[in-house]
Amino acid sequence: MAANVQFDLVSPERKLTSVLVEQVQIPGADGDLTAMAGHEPTILSLRPGLLTATGPGVEEQYVVTGGFAELSADTISVLAELALPRGEMSQEVVTDLLKQATKAHEEAHPDEHHMTQKFLADLVHIAEDLGFHTNL
């Protein structure tokens, strides 16, 4: 039986969850990462993706679009720019996000194109994974 770890997910507008879990799968900017108890203290930034917290009797999934996570031996805090429980995702939200990201990409400075491009691609990927249309 794995040791439990305190998991907090907060967005600027609200605190989404605070539970004891066994592991959290985090979409890191450099790739997915599964954090468990006793993790080396780490700060990593997020890419748009699905965050999955699995614990004794709980399995929660959230869609996050960016922000960062602070990992330590006994706590995992995710500070997401925008976070929604998977169940609250809707086509409307997806369309909105995609529109914003597309606009940001078009307006971005050429130096930042690769960043906005990646953000958009990640967003499309997660939206398709969840079964939403991505054609605007």
Q: Residue 65 Cβ, how far from another protein at the closest point, in Å?
A: 11
> Which of 11, 23, 52, 65 is in the footprint of another protein by CB under 8 A?
11
Give yes or no for residue 111 binding another protein (CB under 8 A): no
Instruction: Report how far residue 90's alpha carbon sits from residue 55's, in angstroms, rounded to the nearest whole number.
Output: 26
43-62 positions binding another protein, by CB under 8 A: 43-45
Whichever of 81 and 129 has its CB closer to another protein, that residue is 81
Q: In which region does residue 18 sit, left (phi positive, over 0), alpha (psi from -120 to 50) or beta (all else)?
A: beta
Distances (CA, A) of 86 to 69, 89, 108: 19, 6, 29
- In angstroms and rounded to an integer, the radius of gyration of the C-alpha atoms of the chain is 15
> Which of 17, 77, 95, 102 is in the footprint of another protein by CB under 8 A?
77
Degrees, nearest 5: CA angle 74-61-76? 15
12-41 positions binding another protein, by CB under 8 A: 12-15, 28-30, 33, 40-41
> Which of 25, 55, 68, 125 is in the footprint of another protein by CB under 8 A?
68
Instruction: Report how far residue 68's alpha carbon sits from residue 46's, in angstroms, rounded to the nearest whole number.
Output: 5
The binding site for another protein (CB under 8 A) comprises 8, 10-15, 28-30, 33, 40-45, 67-68, 70, 77, 79, 81-82
